[in-house]
Amino acid sequence: MAGPAIVRLPVEGRTVRFKAMDGVSEMLVAESRAEPARVALQLLARIAEPVDGGSADWAGLTVTDFEVLLLALRRDLFGARVLSDFRCPDARCGERVEMEFSLIDYLDAVRPHRPKGVGPAPGRTGWWRLGDVFFRLPSAEDQIAAHNSEDGVALLAECCLGPALSPSARRRAETAMAAMAPEVSGPIGGVCPGCGRALDAMFHAPSFVIGEMRRAFTLLGEEVDLIASAYHWQEADILAMPRVRRQTYADRIRRRLAA
């Protein structure tokens, strides 16, 4: 990563800076067997820091800000272009389908706004009020808990909505929540080049980012071995290097060995 990247969180409006990725952070991602969102929180605890010196409670971020932060990190590590490929699910076709998009455009489309009539709930930090309806925006921690629950929808409602809401009041709250913290993960549309079928591929930001990092970090062990063998440095010192510097050393050694 070239220099400290600055990201503005669209919901909270705060700014966050990324530290340089090092081998310890890469090892955390590569070796953890936890679910992607939990691994992402562990990674952010190491490499993300608020520019304004505010709270670094990444689990308390809205789902929108959490996923925007992850995709911004991916963009800074690997670039903005995303290319996904899969087979057409139609058994009569099976054509290879490629979907490509830019994270710059994708993130630019995340535009939260506060609907008219919504304001902070008096005496309830983090809660909002719309008439007689109270709600709060789901956090990354809420999302993880819902994912691991037998009834995630009910759990989110219990955490984020006022009690005993009528169906109409719940709809009003959910509409306001969707406007204030729009979804980042979701289906991405495309067309099969073989049969012309309209397709939707599910894009889940934490799974995409952590999965791509795990594939990219498979060379970590080889790079540590190369540098340790060539320079007799300790593993801990090599892992502490910024990723770009470690890769530069490893590439230099490969070229020398190949000469």
Q: Last residue of some domain: 138, 163, 180?
A: 180
Domain that residue 27 falls in: 6-108+186-258
Structure-token pair, residue 102? 């830019």
Q: Last residue of some domain: 140, 157, 180?
A: 180
Residue type (1 letter), 234: Q
CB atoms within 10 A of CB 225: 14
pLDDT at position 2 = 44
pLDDT at position 200 = 82
For residue 1, tell me if it sits in a domain: no
Q: Last residue of some domain: 162, 180, 198?
A: 180
Q: Domain count of the chain?
A: 2
Residue type (1 letter), 21: M
For residue 113, tell me if it sits in a domain: no
Of 14-18, 60-64, 111-115, 184-188, the one with minimum mean pLDDT is: 184-188
Whether residues 39 and 94 fall in one domain: yes
pLDDT at position 205 = 95
For residue 64, tell me if it sits in a domain: yes
Whether residues 175 and 237 fall in one domain: no
Whether residues 90 and 208 fall in one domain: yes
**81 DSSP β-pair partners:** 102
In the structure, what pLDDT confidence band is assigned to residue 199 with cuts at 50, 70 and 90? Answer: confident
Whether residues 168 and 69 fall in one domain: no
pLDDT at position 1 = 40
